[in-house]
Amino acid sequence: MLYIHPYKSNELKTNNMNNFKIVIFMMLAVLSQNLLAQTEVKKPSEVFEMYFGTFVKNDDAALSKLNDYLRPTVEGENAYQVDFKTVTREMMKESTDNFLSAFSKITADACRKEAEDYFTAMMENFKNGKLSVKDVKIIQNEYREEQKIAKVNYSVSFKVPAKFSDIPTGDIKDVKPEELKKYLIQSLQDFKNADKTVVTEKEFSLYELNEGGKTYYWNGSPDEIVSGLTDFYFESFGSK
């Protein structure tokens, strides 16, 4: 028969109890992580990709997915309503009008189609920017104790012309239609054959929303993505 000294017996009980507490603690930690993962409908990186696809690429499918995702947080409505065709058409008209306004009316009227094609190619290269999410950091919102913020660090690469065709010289009002057409047609090819890659790194905040026991992420100012990227994109033209 095995004899265990009373002191040793108490020591074994204590060790067993400590081991049991450690096991319970680890189980609770794993369980809490699983519960957190279950309540997070999509990871912040996935949500940001939907925002990027919607507001940079103007992709209707991305917009639909983003609205489906956020619908429970806006009482079943669409969080964002955008008609990309109308927005693009209005933007192209404004860009073309502003550009041609610098030239004489005769030259502007004769070169409208070439100017529209030029701006279309320019914006297509922007929309085709390649996204890479670097990392996501979850921080506490210093203004709302119950809310966390996902800081998404990402990079975007664009194809741009390394060098543009020479702009017609002299008084811009004296530029002839054939001169401007030649410049616009060549610049269109410059964009189509863009041979330089430029990369920028940015950060975007997604705010936590809790609805029905689930966690969502959103941002009410998605235009921040576009404004930061367009500034970089246009400044990169022809730069070394």
Q: How confident is the model at residue 2 (pLDDT cuts 50, 70, 90)?
A: very low
Residue 89 within any structural domain of the chain: yes
For residue range 9-44, list pLDDT tens digits in order.
455 444 545 555 554 445 444 444 544 444 889 999
Residue 23 within any structural domain of the chain: no
Residue 34 within any structural domain of the chain: no
Question: Lowest-pLDDT range, 21-25, 96-100, 148-152, 199-203?
Answer: 21-25
pLDDT of residue 159: 95
Can you tell me the mean pLDDT for 170-188?
Answer: 94
Nearest 5°: CA angle at 169, between 164 and 172?
Answer: 105
pLDDT of 200 over the 70 cut: yes
Percent of the chain having pLDDT more than 90?
71
- DSSP string covering 4-56, please? --HHHHHHHHHHHHHHHHHHHHHHHHHHHHHHHHHHBSS-HHHHHHHHHHHHT
Can you tell me the mean pLDDT for 154-183?
Answer: 91
Residue 28 within any structural domain of the chain: no
- pTM of the model as a whole: 0.80
Average pLDDT, the chain: 86
pLDDT of residue 239: 47
pLDDT of residue 115: 97
Residue 174 within any structural domain of the chain: yes
Can you tell me the mean pLDDT for 191-213?
Answer: 94
Q: How confident is the model at residue 3 (pLDDT cuts 50, 70, 90)?
A: very low
**63-74 in b/e burial notation, b at 16+ Cβ within 10 A?**
bebbbebbeebe
Can you tell me the mean pLDDT for 107-125?
Answer: 96
For residue 24, which amino acid is it? Answer: I
According to DSSP, the residues that pair with 202 across neighbouring strands are 154
How many domains are contained in the chain?
Answer: 1
Residue 209 within any structural domain of the chain: yes
Residue 112 within any structural domain of the chain: yes
For residue range 38-85, list pLDDT tens digits in order.
488 999 999 999 999 999 999 999 999 999 999 999 999 999 999 999
pLDDT of residue 17: 52
Find the domain containing 146 and state its range. Answer: 45-235
pLDDT of residue 8: 45
Residue 91 within any structural domain of the chain: yes
Residue 5 burial (10 A CB sphere; 0-12, 13-18, 19+): exposed
pLDDT of residue 106: 97
